[in-house]
Structure 1
Amino acid sequence: EFNFLKEYKPDKSQATCMACNSQFSVYHGGKNDAVQHSKSKQHKKNMLTFSIDRQLITTTMKPTREKEEVAAAEATLVYHGVKHKISYMAQQCTTDVLKILFASSPIAKSLSCATTKASVIATDVLAPYFTHVVLEEIKNAFYYSLSYDASNKGNLKAYPFCIQYLSDTGVKKVLIDFIDDSSESAIDIYRNARLILDKYELNLHGLTTIGADNTNVNMGDHHSVFSLFRDEKPNLIKGSCYNHILHNGVKHGHKLLTIDVEKNLLSIYAHFSRSAKRIAELKSYYEFYEEDYVVILKHIKLRWLTLHTSIERLLQVFAPVKDYFLSLDDGCPRELTEFFSCEEGHRVLSFLQNILSIIQNSNLKLQRRYLAGVSLHQIITELKLKLQQRLDSSFFGTNCRLKLSRLEPSTADKLKLSFARFTERVIEYIDEYYLLKKKDKNGKIIEPKYTTPSEIYEAISPFGLSTINDITWNHVTKCIELFQIKNLDEDDLFNEFCEVQMIFKSIQDKNISIYDQIQSYIGKKSNSNISTTTPTTISSNKEFDEEQESHDDDDDDLKENTAIKEIRPDQLWAMLLSIKPTSSPNLHKLVCFLFSIPCSNAFVESVFSAMKHLYDDK
């Protein structure tokens, strides 16, 4: 009846007349208001051409098949560029190459995808579509977590906001919005986060966790972003970043060593970073030791993974680098002269190489893109156990032990004591956040006001295993009571839980391994769904990337081919919930709640690396 009307989204009390290109109120009269508007002289005049214009548009704008194929090809090129973090400026070059390579193709000839068009396709076509896909998946999961980070990008303060949830193919972590805001106060960050939730119509009742760096602004007990959200939702979980906790634990332990290794690493790198002449002189020392030249890797204090790799590289070339600096005499920086002259330097490096390799492995596990909070307890407890075993046995690495044996007993004992204090401090720092064993000024442990993270992550840890045989009904009820999950029918939930256990036993008895069954299921789902997950590799500094990228890729491929096939718990549960003959709404809600809890802020921080070519001052 009113084909000229459409909804006016900014104000539901008004309607838009497409013929007049204006809005009018329908709040009081409703249909009568629309009738009155249709009787106005201006509207009648506009309607004379409105129908004709619409008919012309619909008949003349029908795309041909070739145009559709060209548009699809251009969208695919842009999607490929964004997925692999390729700058928009490279799109025109890629398009020109394709035109030459496929000169006989009419589609290639018609491609036109330079910087401006590529950015428009990404922001106005692909982004809205994938955002819609993500929002639909979040609605199906109901429960989700919100994580964010902040970083200065040129003259801007950028905030990526990311969502973690369980989809029908496993855990997904996606970028939902990216904003600029110069304000850094808790109330401003909270306001921006609430606006994003409202913008995408995400139900606050479905929010399980707030994830961010472990700063007072983000995670403090008073007037922080987390506390402001907790005022609205009392059962909200604090999603501290355990990558940062491990990194900061090493920093605090480093202060107890006899040598400031970080300072010396930075001085060594700075000495060679801008001098080709010094590099040429250093190469002569490599030749003397008959070693191939390799660069000194830069250590950045804010990066999680650079200290261990920098130490490994320095130990690899320690002899030529040491001789180079000691030959400089007065030209050598004072701290480096002391570092290379003393007997302790090499021993401290050997100790750190050994102990950091353990922490590094745990840090890398926490950065896996599919990891959820259900796996955190196992990672943290295993790390603490390994550190405690080394502490109890006074084992600091074989190379370190051999080098210590060549020192005076008093010097060796002094170093061993510092190594033990380092290990103790790392364990204590982890416990401050995981067990909330924080001390007051008098050294007494402060009683925690809320449930400790260890209680939360230990309770949900059975769901992070590669089997469900070890999960009991007591584990389920403990999670329900701990998180106070509402709208669950426990009677139905028990029946659903028992049915899933029987299904798991039946698929165990098949001739096909569970791993292969899961991969078959994921493959079928992936073919029907378009992946919306952004790559999550944490980029380090430029030198580290250039030196390690090819080696890391080779190592990863080798590990995947030679390692035991690992069953991902998120994919296991996604498959079990999908193949049930009857629906499991209660079990589905419980599992989605547990897998929405993050264990790290690594994915959010990776957004800056992914956008380093796409986002600048312009």
Structure 2
Amino acid sequence: MATPSKKKKKYACKFQNGWKKEFHFIQDSSKGKGYAICTFCCSDFSIEHGGRTDIVAHERSEKHKSAATLQQSQPSLMGHLEGVTYAETKMAMMIAESNIPSSFAEVFNKSVKDMFPDSEIARQYANGTTEATPTVKGAIAPELDEEAMELIDTGCICHLVQLAAGCGIPALRQPIEDILSSIYTHFDISAKLCEISNEFVEFTDSETLKILRDCASRWLSLLTCINRVLSQWDALQAHFARHEDAEKPGQVKMLAEHLTSKKTKFFFLFLSQALKPLAEFSVMFQAEGVMVGVVRAHQEMTRLVRRFMGRFLPAILIADVQLKDIEFKDASLQLPDSELFLGAAAQSLLEDNMEELSSSVPMMIKAVRDFFVAVTTKMMTAFPLNNIVLQNLSV
């Protein structure tokens, strides 16, 4: 009986950046590495089976030829633009050709009205970072000369930090965001409730501050919301504990239980310190100084990652070692429980309530470790730490 022959394993082709120079009409596809997008046809097509051969086949298709002919018959990009649109597009092109960070658009946007007060175009000009980036990537890039500098797309660094923090919160296995959202909703629906709460604020000698809502579009507003709740913790605890619905199943009872829990307060106190480096980093890159985001990008990203690692890893493991070589996920290499960073307030609460929390401490410490590992993992994968151009820049 003949032995059946083994089937050869098929490997899917992936998009190669070098193909962009050979075929100027293609770009990376949002569908994944197995696809390319044709800027003439405005359509995605698979390259998984043949790679370059698939691109050639697409180029020879009637659909592409027709789109290419139409593209060539159109006037140049700048030829049909007028007024404000021309000015905004021209600035986007200058940013692309000069390899200037798109954050410069925000600075120019704020200055142009003061620079040219008599210009109607200047008054209507509104081409900030958010508008300039897609203009450069979607419309300008295909029009640039082949010799123009290659754009460095690092993504929004503040957004990357927000994503890193977002990965850390679930690792704590505590309903932090639900608690914040529920407190905000509770007071937002009634002015009377706010008045009642103010009485508890005065009674507990807390700071009178408005409860804020965590918003994903505001970088690390989570930290501000946490600090705002902590500043009024005693007042909020008294308010929900004495609420008429405190014993009924629902939102008020849930909040009353969490606000009287030492474990919940521990995690709030921990986050108020653990999220600080991320917030400080985010504030730095929202500064108006353009060069902060260019020259110091790699330096500050590396510093942030090392700073975070130092909170759960021995200094000797981090010093003079490349980030990619640090085995930060290995629990045996991490700091012992007694040396793990918790923050002074969280550490004090833990020590003062050790008898009450003794059974929960192992879980709480593990949650803290998981938080640090989750945030560090996201930063290591999301930050452009291996970008050679950024590495070679210095102050």
Deviation (angstroms), 1:196 = 4.4
**In structure 1, how many angstroms separate the alpha carbons of the residues matched to 2:227 and 2:74?**
58
The equivalent of 2:261 in structure 1 is 342
Deviations 1:416-454 (A, max 9, x none): 2211110111001111223xxxxxxxxxxxxxxxxxx32
Deviation (angstroms), 1:256 = 1.6
Within a 5 Å distance, the mapping from 1:114-263 to structure 2 comes to 128=86, 134=91, 142-144=98-100, 175=128, 193-197=137-141, 202-203=144-145, 205-206=147-148, 208-209=150-151, 237-263=152-178
Counting matched residue pairs gives 268
Whether the 8 Å CA contact 1:311–1:353 is kept in 2: the answer is yes
* Code of the aligned partner of 1:309: T
Whether the 8 Å CA contact 1:145–1:207 is kept in 2: the answer is no
Structure 2 alignment gaps of length 5 or more: 1-72, 109-125, 314-338
Cα pair distance change 1:349/1:178, threshold 3 Å = closer
**In structure 2, how many angstroms separate the alpha carbons of the residues matched to 1:135 and 1:289?**
55
Whether the 8 Å CA contact 1:359–1:383 is kept in 2: the answer is yes
1:364 paired residue among 261, 264, 283: 283
SS of corresponding position for 2:154: strand
* Code of the aligned partner of 1:293: T
Deviation (angstroms), 1:455 = 2.8
Whether the 8 Å CA contact 1:131–1:176 is kept in 2: the answer is no
SS of corresponding position for 2:341: coil
The equivalent of 1:456 in structure 2 is 387
Question: C-alpha root-mean-square deviation of aligned residues, in Å?
Answer: 3.8
Structure 1 alignment gaps of length 5 or more: 1-8, 13-122, 148-160, 166-172, 180-188, 210-236, 435-452, 466-618
The equivalent of 2:349 in structure 1 is 403
Whether the 8 Å CA contact 1:375–1:464 is kept in 2: the answer is yes
Instruction: Indicate the structure with greater strand content.
Output: 1
Cα pair distance change 1:163/1:308, threshold 3 Å = closer
Within a 5 Å distance, the mapping from 1:19-168 to structure 2 comes to 128=86, 134=91, 142-144=98-100
**In structure 1, how many angstroms separate the alpha carbons of the residues matched to 2:146 and 2:134?**
13
Deviation (angstroms), 1:242 = 2.7
SS of corresponding position for 2:311: helix
* Code of the aligned partner of 1:402: S
**In structure 2, how many angstroms separate the alpha carbons of the residues matched to 1:191 and 1:135?**
7
What TM-score do you get using the length of structure 2 for normalisation? 0.58
The equivalent of 1:330 in structure 2 is 247
The equivalent of 2:235 in structure 1 is 320
Cα pair distance change 1:362/1:177, threshold 3 Å = closer
1:414 paired residue among 339, 350, 363: 363
**In structure 2, how many angstroms separate the alpha carbons of the residues matched to 1:278 and 1:430?**
41
* Code of the aligned partner of 1:367: Q
Q: Identity of aligned pairs, percent?
A: 20
Cα pair distance change 1:178/1:256, threshold 3 Å = closer
**In structure 2, how many angstroms separate the alpha carbons of the residues matched to 1:163 and 1:280?**
41
**Is 1:295–2:295 an aligned residue pair?**
no
What TM-score do you get using the length of structure 1 for normalisation? 0.39
SS of corresponding position for 2:386: helix
Cα pair distance change 1:194/1:294, threshold 3 Å = closer
**In structure 1, how many angstroms separate the alpha carbons of the residues matched to 2:129 and 2:271?**
39
**In structure 2, how many angstroms separate the alpha carbons of the residues matched to 1:314 and 1:163?**
33
Structure having the higher Rg: 1
2:373 paired residue among 417, 424, 427: 424
SS of corresponding position for 1:308: helix
